[in-house]
A and B are shown apart, each in its own frame.
Chain A
Amino acid sequence: MHVLSIDRSIIDAIVAHARRDHPDEACGVVAGPVGSDTPTRHIPMDNAARSMTFYEFDSMEHLRVWREMDDRDEEPVVIYHSHTATEAYPSRTDVSFAGEPGAHYLLVSTREPDSEEIRSFRIVDGVVTEEPVRIVEAGVDPHAVQSYMFGQSPATVDYECSGR
C-alpha cells in the first residue's frame, strides 16, 4: 500500500496557503527528486480560476514550474488543493482531470475554522485510492512519526447537484 510521507513543515505551509486563500480554493505542488517519492520543495501555485469551487493552474506558471522541475531532476510528488466548504475527498471533477498518475493528490478541507482535514489519494485511470498520510516531525527521530489515516467511508456527497 502506498503511503504519503511528508514533513510537518511542508504540511504546515500547505495549510497556511489554504487558509490564506480561503474561501477560494488554493492549489500547488510539492516537488521531489525523480523516483524518490519524497516531497521536498513546496511550490504554491496561483489558482487561475480564483473560485470557491474550482481550481486550475495558470498555464504559463504551470510550464515554468514543470520545466524547473525537469531541470532539477524533480517531479511533482504531491499535487494539492483545498476544498473550502466540503470534505477533503476527490470530487468527480478532481478525478476526471487528474493527469499525473504518479502523484499523490493531497486534499485539505478548510471548512472548519479551527481544524483541517488532510487526506491523500492516488488517482489512476479514474480510480481513487486513499492512502495514509505520515507526517514526519523534523528534528526528531525520523522513525518516530505520527500517522493519520482517515479510513472512514466517505460521506455521501453529490458534488454534481449544484448548478446543473
Chain B
Amino acid sequence: MAIEVRIPTILRSYTGGAKVVEGSGDTLSDLLADLDSRHAGLRGRLVTEAGALHRFVNVYVNDEDVRFLGALDAKLSDGDSITILPAVAGGAFGFAAAAAISQHSAAAVRRQSATAVDGDGRRGAVAAL
C-alpha cells in the first residue's frame, strides 16, 4: 500500500507530467521528502526555506485541509489520498494585504484546530507556489 498524491498542472513538470504519483511516509513531511527523492524540486515548491508549508499552497489529506491536521506534522496512513492545489488568490493590492490576511489566517487556524500546534503553515513568508 502507498499514499496517492494528486499533483496540480503547474507542478507536473516535476513528475514527468503525471497527474497522480505514489509515495510513503508517516507524516506529510516524510512523504514530501520521499517524493522529492524521485521528483527532485517538488518539495521546494511546497515548503519554505524556513521549513513551513507555503502559505499559498493547499494540501489536503483525504477531505481535510492539512493545516487543520498539524500541517507538515500531519500523520498519514497507507491508503490516504493527498491532494495538492495551488491557492487561487490575488487582488488589486500587493503583499501588505496578503501579509495581513496571512496573519489573520494563522489566528483562525489556531482558533479552529486543537491538533495544529501553532498554525505553522499559515505563517510563512508570503510566497506563491
What residues make up the interface of A, taking CB atoms closer than 8 Å to B?
A: 25, 27, 29, 45, 49, 51-57, 59-60, 62-63, 66, 79, 81, 83-86, 90-94, 96-102, 159-160, 162-164
Nearest Cβ in chain B — how far from A36, in angstroms? Answer: 16
Bound complex: CA of A79 vs CA of B83, how far in Å?
A: 20
Question: B101 at interface (Cβ–Cβ under 8 A)?
Answer: yes
Which residues of the other chain, A, contact B85 by a CB distance below 8 angstroms? 62-63, 66, 99
In the complex, whether B2 has a CB less than 8 A from a CB of chain A is no
Residues of chain B whose beta carbon lies under 8 Å from any beta carbon of chain A:
8-10, 56, 58, 60, 63, 65, 67, 83, 85-98, 101, 128-129
5 contacts between A and B (CB under 8 A): A55-B90, A62-B87, A63-B58, A93-B98, A164-B94
Shortest CB-to-CB span from A88 to chain B, Å, is 10
The answer to whether B65 and A54 have CB atoms under 8 Å apart is no
A99 touches B86 (CB 8 A): yes
Task: Give Cα A102–Cα B9 distance, bound, in whole angstroms.
Answer: 8
Report the minimum CB–CB distance from B96 to chain A (whole Å): 3
8 nearest CB pairs, A to B: A99-B86, A163-B96, A54-B91, A94-B90, A53-B93, A56-B89, A160-B94, A57-B88
Residues in chain B near residue A53, CB distance under 8 A: 91-93, 97
CA separation between A95 and B10, bound complex, in Å?
14
Q: Which of B92, B95, B96, B98 contacts A86 (CB 8 A)?
A: B92
Q: Which residues of B contact A60 (CB under 8 A)?
A: 65
The distance from the CB of B129 to the nearest CB of chain A, in whole angstroms, is: 5
What's the Cα separation between A93 and B10 when bound, in Å?
A: 17
Please determine whether B88 and A62 come into contact, CB atoms closer than 8 angstroms: yes
Contacts of B65 in A (CB 8 A): 59-60, 63
- Is the CB–CB distance between B63 and A63 below 8 Å? yes
Contact: B93 with A159, CB < 8 Å?
A: yes
Q: How far is the CB of A71 from the nearest CB of chain B, in Å?
A: 13
Task: Tell me the bound Cα distance from A163 to B93 in angstroms.
Answer: 9
Instruction: Tell me which residues across on chain A come within 8 A of B87, comparing CB atoms.
Output: 56-57, 59, 62, 97, 99
Other-chain contact of B92, A83, A97, A99, A102 (Cβ < 8 Å): A83
- Indicate whether A99 sits within 8 Å of B128 (C-beta atoms), given known contacts A27-B88, A63-B60: yes
Q: What is the chain A residue whose CB lies nearest that of B11?
A: A99
Q: Is the CB of B56 within 8 A of A97?
A: yes
